[in-house]
A and B are shown apart, each in its own frame.
Chain A
């Protein structure tokens, strides 16, 4: 059963359709990537899932029941893209305040904060103020605040921006760990390499509409262009197109070819075997999510839209 199911979700502002009929569902324990260019409607979508906005139309089903922001909010942890903390407040008190707002009791909140501070090596921070922290440090604090109350659903909007590789890896490990423990994670970003590395499943949003969704591997298969990479024992530029393939790119003894419809990789291999050309390397090229993303978004007015006022 899906932990979160969106069906025909719509949110219209006066001048534009911020979210226009979006549906998808997320299985528990998965890491779900929500992708889209700036201004695609990701934030509005996330704000509806966190109960900040009400959808104009459509339904959100959370954990099998119709989403009830008042109570279900306790089960959700949200880290917005624009981070915010009370600058003058001590870090420990701040975490305590926000944990209690999520409904934790005082002792429970303190125990959880101690656990997380220890885990992320922040024990000495309790009495510091946020204004004394570096950007990366406050990012870590923000992450702890998001996951402190053991939410079933964790929503992270660009969680790695501003983090150095060491801390980014630290957070990444925590994300994997949380998913292993059964939390579901929605990961909103436009950094594709992170998505390929972390996410099981993605949805691509553009201009308020869902452009595609599914498992990362399936999507790459779906958008493959039948390209293969070959390394041969002779100069590749002597090989001409045939009924089976056409060369796309040739350099020294490497080449990239596109197989025509109706043929497979085996047909390509057989062709070279028959020609008695030594094949040293053979592999299918799957498009990266970045390429798919650009292909799908390119040409729409996605960029101009991001400057629209709501």
Chain B
């Protein structure tokens, strides 16, 4: 045990002390955040405003078109000739113009002549602004009162209420959907990232021939476990740093960079009035999610999944003797279930009780990814308690099996040089006696 700890400490320290660790752990989230912030910033503070000039000879629009975005302005004028407008458009003083002929009716087509290229988003916004203005004017002409029309158009609210849990609103489903996908993707990345990291570490030890010296001091299994635990500890540390950074950056930087950000984001989706209530609804939905359970489950599946895959990757790493090339072929059967798990997860978030989702969340090679997506949708609703218990038992059962299996392969493989073994040979190594 003491020796496993020595190996663990070496793995941990040698990784954490590397400059690349700091770079990846702190630099990467900052970089990603910076890129998002830049995209966000430029999409909000874009200075390019589209100016449309309207010469409304028929008085069709009654001098207003309500712009539904800040980026487009409509300027009404009369008595400007077409040639004058054309030259203005060519000089880019305006982006486009509309001439409504004097005999035009509300049903006519509107022609917008543009001087510069107008983006698809702006086009849509212009189209809908013109259409809704004309619709309003047409409705005004109808012999029905505005109130009646509004009443007729109002949508009835449909609310979903679950028998177990009184609140199952669409907002809550949406939020738990988001959290589910997020957790699933996170576990998927952990398995791939740290799994291959274990594989590379084992390969490095084998190729540099240090393994033989270490194994003359400790058992191969101790070396393997020390490595897996050490890299796992690095992963946990990295996560803690990321969580702290993520939370910190969000709270510190968003208000500084975008004082009006929250308003802008929601106004893109709904009207400004609703946005406050909307945020409150999201918050309330987040509040109903059982975070202590999800976080516990996250660590259970993180550890279980990591141990299963890390030991399998270690087995691959110890059986190849020269580098990445060899590893690729053997790696495929290990990475495949991770990818399949990811695919099932995408299905499971939409339909958490389907047969495929249940299977995926019980099968230990996919359960770390799939179960996370289901658990976030509520435990008695989307996953029954016995399913969860069975899934965890299977997970830890297979974790014990794979570490045993990998340990057997490791013992033979780490000292075996020469040609790359086949899967058949690997399995033979695992089951033969000492």
Please report A residues at the B interface, Cβ cutoff 8 Å: 47, 50-52, 54, 70, 73, 76, 78-80, 82-89, 97-98, 100-102, 145, 309-310
Q: Is there contact, CB below 8 Å, between A98 and B416?
A: no
Contact with A along B408-434 (1 / 0, CB 8 A): 000000011011000000000000001
The 4 closest A-B pairs by CB, nearest first: A84-B209, A84-B210, A101-B217, A78-B216
Docked-complex contact B14 and A89, CB < 8 angstroms = yes
State whether the Cβ of B215 lies closer than 8 Å to any Cβ in chain A: yes
Chain B interface residues toward A at CB < 8 A:
3, 6-7, 10, 14, 18, 208-219, 415-416, 418-419, 434
| CB contact under 8 A between A86 and B6, given known A98-B217, A101-B217 | no
Whether A80 contacts B213 by the Cβ 8 Å rule is: yes
Partner of A82, one of B6, B212, B214, B416: B212
A85 with B208: CB separation less than 8 A: yes
Q: Select one of B208, B217, B416, B418 contacting A84, CB under 8 A.
A: B208
Residues in chain A near residue B3, CB distance under 8 A: 101
13 new A-B contacts, CB < 8 A, other than A70-B219, A78-B212, A84-B211, are: A47-B415, A52-B215, A52-B216, A79-B213, A82-B209, A82-B212, A85-B210, A97-B6, A101-B6, A101-B7, A145-B213, A310-B416, A310-B418
Cβ of B9 to closest chain A Cβ, rounded Å: 8
**A residues less than 8 Å from B215 (CB atoms):** 52
For A310, give the chain B residue with the smallest CB separation.
Answer: B416
For A86, list chain B residues within 8 Å (CB): 14, 208, 210
> How far, in Å, is A117 (CB) from chain B's closest CB?
18
Name A51's closest neighbour in chain B (CB-CB).
B216
Contact check, A52 vs B415: say whether CB atoms are below 8 A apart: yes
A-B contact pairs, 29 of them (CB 8 A): A50-B216, A51-B216, A52-B212, A52-B216, A52-B415, A70-B219, A76-B216, A78-B212, A78-B216, A79-B213, A80-B209, A80-B213, A80-B216, A82-B209, A84-B208, A84-B210, A84-B211, A84-B212, A86-B14, A87-B208, A88-B14, A88-B18, A89-B10, A101-B6, A101-B7, A101-B217, A101-B218, A102-B217, A310-B418
User: Could you tell me the distance in whole angstroms from the C-beta of A129 to the nearest C-beta in chain B?
Assistant: 11
**Assembled-state Cα–Cα distance A309/B321 (Å):** 14
How many Å lie between the Cα of A88 and that of B418 in the bound state?
A: 25
CB distance from A266 to the nearest CB of B (A): 53
Chain B, residue nearest A102 (CB)? B217
Contact A309 B216, beta carbon cutoff 8 Å: no
Tell me which of A76, A79, A82 has the highest count of chain B C-beta atoms within 10 A of its own C-beta.
Answer: A82
> In the complex, how many angstroms separate the beta carbon of B367 from the nearest chain A beta carbon?
36
Q: Kindly report which residue of chain A lies nearest to residue B432, judged by CB atoms.
A: A14
CA distance A84 to B3 in the complex (A): 19
Q: Which residue of B lies closest to A76 (CB)?
A: B216
Pairwise interchain contact B212-A80, C-beta atoms closer than 8 A: yes
Name the distance in Å between A110's Cβ and chain B's nearest Cβ.
15
* Complex: chain A residue closest to B208, CB-CB: A84
Most chain B C-beta atoms within 10 Å of own C-beta, residue among A79, A82, A97, A101: A101
Q: How far is the CA of A54 from the CA of B220 in the complex (A)?
A: 13
Question: A108 → chain B, closest Cβ, in Å?
Answer: 14
Complex Cα–Cα for A172 and B360 (A): 63
Q: Quick one: closest B residue to A54, CB to CB?
A: B434
- Give every chain A residue within 8 A of B419 (Cβ-Cβ): 309
Report the nearest A residue to B207, measured CB to CB: A84
Residues of B within 8 A of A82 (CB): 209, 212
Option from B6, B208, B213, B418 in Cβ contact (under 8 Å) with A78: B213
Q: Which residues of B contact A79 (CB under 8 A)?
A: 213
With beta carbons under 8 angstroms apart, the residue of A73, A102, A309 that contacts B418 is A309
A101 near B214 with CB under 8 A, answer yes
CA distance A145 to B415 in the complex (A): 20
CA distance A101 to B3 in the complex (A): 6
Determine how close the nearest CB of chain B comes to the CB of A12; give it in whole angstroms. 12
Q: Which residues of A contact B212 (CB under 8 A)?
A: 52, 78, 80, 82, 84
Q: Output the least CB separation between A87 and chain B (Å).
A: 6
Give complex CA distance A116, B166 in Å.
74
Pick from B208, B214, B218, B434 the residue with the most CB of A within 10 Å. B208
> Which of chain B's residues has its CB closest to A146's CB?
B213
Contacts of B216 in A (CB 8 A): 50-52, 73, 76, 78, 80
Given A54-B434, A86-B14, A98 contacting B418 (CB threshold 8 A): no
Interchain CA distance A79-B6 in the complex, whole Å: 21
Q: With a CB–CB cut-off of 8 A, which chain A residues contact B434?
A: 54
Q: Please determine whether A97 and B208 come into contact, CB atoms closer than 8 angstroms.
A: no
Assuming the contacts A89-B14, A97-B6, asked whether A73 and B217 have C-beta atoms less than 8 A apart, the reply is yes
Which residues of chain B come closer than 8 Å to A54, judged between CB atoms?
434
Residues of A within 8 A of B418 (CB): 309-310
How many angstroms between the C-alpha atoms of A78 and B415 in the bound complex? 15
Considering only CB atoms, which chain A residue lies closest to B226 in the complex? Answer: A101
List of B residues within 8 angstroms of A83 by Cβ: 209
Bound together, the chains give a CA A102 to CA B218 distance in angstroms of 8
CB of B428 to closest CB in A, whole Å: 9
Alpha-carbon distance between A89 and B219 when the two chains are bound, in angstroms: 22
Q: A78 — nearest CB in chain B belongs to which residue?
A: B216
Q: Which residues of A contact B415 (CB under 8 A)?
A: 47, 52
Of listed A80, A88, A310, residue having the most chain B CB within 10 A: A80
> A84 near B14 (CB under 8 angstroms)?
no
Bound together, the chains give a CA A85 to CA B213 distance in angstroms of 8
**How far is the CB of A143 from the nearest CB of chain B, in Å?**
12
- A101–B212 Cα distance when bound, in Å, is 13
